[in-house]
């Protein structure tokens, strides 16, 4: 089966085929739909798909936020207010139980769905069953290839002397890797939200035609620019759980080497993991650096900041990048984040680990308000193309590409018999 690799540099580059019959999808999500992190991403995907015109049946472990009208939910690990306790059962057992339940339900949905959308570590039995039944499948890839992620995070942790906790999501786990690679193999297509993710899979030997592009987005009703800029010191903002893979150490080194640190502010909105905080103790103690901890007012912080810095060494799609653009905050990001951040157009981009370039970027924007305003305007022009509603349209077109490719493959196989 041959699938398209999608480009999202702008609406004019999307090779959509509209007018195809309405797509009916079983959206299998093995976590609590609508809570934080990927659970929020999945909820926004369902909302965007419904808005784009898909018929969506949600098979999530549980549903924790209201779904759009017309979207049916059949939870796998919840009944009423009762929930299977993941911490008691164990994360991996709960994901496997969800997978078995969805696979058991799948034969009863033959003829009622066109495609199954699955998520990592909760998909193996579902993918096997769908293959037997002849139902096309896609597997979400919210991050880079797991083998690549393990390797680069481990190497950087060793380089800077920060141990990874054994239960950390990026600590090497052979069982997890083996299961995920089996899922990669079984799925008809892997949904990749950035070209960086695509590259990591191609480098691991996955055929490029199996990698289908889509995007994530941002909520424009929450992230929007301030009506006018308030006078303030030049302000850089880092958002998220500060772990080695997010590259906060690169950002702090570049910031403290730049003249911007003399009278500017560097805000960290998120928890800093203990061993990492100990390694960064001197930089975090600088009077211009403020560790704010977990915050619920990130949209306001973005509106009050000049730049959003995200020097990740490994990323799937930096949601904070699009949120920053929508808020009028300029992304300063590594090339592992998302190609939606285009250097000198709506962001400044540096190669992973290139502290010297990031230092120079801090300095340029501190000294050149006109450049800062130009990039801010570029981000605001880009933002309407990357809302969650637009992401739903792109995802639905990715589904259509998979379904059509599956139909062509079936026709060719029948003709050859």
For 25-60, the pLDDT digits (tens) are: 999 999 999 999 999 999 999 999 999 999 999 999
Position 15 scores a pLDDT of 32
Give me the DSSP letters along 386-405: GBHHHHHHHHHHHHHHHHHH
Instruction: Look at residue 5 and tell me whether its pLDDT is greater than 70.
Output: no
Give the side-chain half-sphere CA count within 13 A for 402.
Answer: 29
Structure-block tokens of residue 175: 């069982």
Confidence band of 396 (pLDDT split at 50, 70, 90)? very high
**Cβ burial, residue 413 (10 Å; 0-12/13-18/19+):** exposed
Mean pLDDT of the chain: 93
264 domain-assigned: yes
46 lies in the same domain as 152: yes
Q: Closest Cα partner for 186 from 123, 248, 249?
A: 123
Assigned domain for 6 exists: no
Alpha helices per DSSP H over 134-287: 146-160, 174-186, 195-203, 248-257, 260-263, 274-279, 281-284
**Tokens, residue 370:** 């006109």
Residues 6+ apart with CB under 8 A from 379: 324, 325, 326, 328, 329, 330, 331, 346, 347
The pTM assigned to this predicted structure is 0.92
Residues linked to residue 55 through DSSP beta bridges, in sequence order: 24
Q: State yes or no: pLDDT of 16 exceeds 90.
A: no
DSSP per residue, 113-158: -SEEEE-TTS-HHHHHHHHHHT--EEEE-SSS-HHHHHHHHHHHHH
Residues 146 and 282 in one domain: no
CB 348 within 8 Å of CB 380:
no
pLDDT for 415 equals 78
What average pLDDT score do residues 305-310 get?
Answer: 98
Residue that has been written with the tokens 């939870």 in this structure: 75
- pLDDT, residue 127, reads 98
Q: Supply the pLDDT for residue 189.
A: 98
Domain range for 366 is 235-385
Average pLDDT over residues 2-24: 44
* % the chain with pLDDT above 90: 88
Give the chain's domain count. 2
171/59 same-domain check: yes
The region of weakest confidence among 185-189, 194-198, 336-340, 390-394 is 336-340
State whether 182 and 37 are in the same domain: yes
Question: Quick check: is 225 in a domain?
Answer: no
Residue 176, burial from CB neighbour count under 10 angstroms (0-12, 13-18, 19+)? middle
- Categorize the per-residue pLDDT at 165 as very low, low, confident or very high, splitting at 50, 70 and 90: confident
Confidence check: pLDDT of 404 > 70: yes
pLDDT above 70 coverage of the chain, percent: 95
């Amino acid at each position: 089966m041959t699938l398209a690799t999608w480009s999202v540099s702008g609406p004019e580059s999307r090779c959509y085929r509209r007018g195809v019959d309405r797509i009916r999808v079983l959206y299998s999500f093995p976590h609590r739909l609508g809570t934080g992190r990927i659970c929020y991403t999945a909820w926004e995907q369902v909302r965007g798909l419904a808005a784009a015109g898909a018929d969506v049946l949600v098979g999530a472990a549980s549903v924790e936020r209201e779904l759009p009208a017309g979207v049916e939910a059949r939870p796998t690990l919840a009944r009423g207010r009762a929930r299977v306790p993941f911490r008691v059962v164990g994360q991996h057992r709960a994901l496997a139980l969800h997978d078995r339940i969805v696979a058991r339900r799948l034969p009863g949905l033959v003829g009622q769905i066109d495609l199954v959308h699955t998520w990592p570590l909760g998909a193996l039995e579902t993918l096997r069953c769908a293959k037997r039944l002849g139902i096309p499948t896609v597997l979400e890839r919210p991050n880079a290839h797991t083998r690549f992620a393990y390797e680069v995070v481990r190497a950087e942790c060793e380089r800077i002397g920060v141990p990874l906790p054994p239960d950390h999501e990026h600590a090497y786990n052979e069982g997890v890797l083996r299961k995920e690679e089996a899922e990669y193999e079984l799925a008809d297509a892997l949904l990749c939200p950035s070209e960086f993710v695509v590259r990591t899979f191609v480098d691991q030997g996955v055929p490029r035609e199996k990698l289908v592009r889509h995007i994530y987005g941002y909520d424009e009703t929450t992230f929007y620019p301030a009506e006018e800029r308030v006078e303030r010191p030049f302000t850089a903002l880092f958002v998220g759980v500060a772990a080695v893979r997010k590259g906060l150490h690169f950002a702090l080194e570049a910031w403290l080497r730049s003249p911007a640190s003399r009278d500017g502010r560097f805000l960290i909105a998120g928890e800093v993991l203990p061993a990492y905080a100990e390694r960064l103790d001197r930089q975090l103690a600088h009077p211009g650096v403020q560790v704010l901890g977990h915050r619920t007012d990130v949209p306001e912080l973005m509106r009050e900041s000049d730049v959003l810095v995200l020097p990740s060494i490994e990323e799937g799609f930096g949601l904070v990048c699009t949120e920053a653009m929508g808020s009028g905050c300029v992304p300063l990001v590594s090339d592992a984040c998302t190609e939606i951040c285009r250097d000198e157009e709506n962001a400044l981009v540096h190669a992973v680990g290139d502290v010297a370039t990031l230092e120079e970027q801090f300095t340029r924007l501190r000294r050149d308000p006109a450049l800062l305003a130009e990039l801010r305007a570029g981000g605001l022009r880009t933002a309407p193309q990357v809302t969650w509603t637009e992401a739903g349209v792109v995802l639905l077109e990715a589904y259509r590409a998979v379904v059509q490719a599956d139909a062509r493959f079936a026709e060719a196989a029948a003709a050859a018999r």
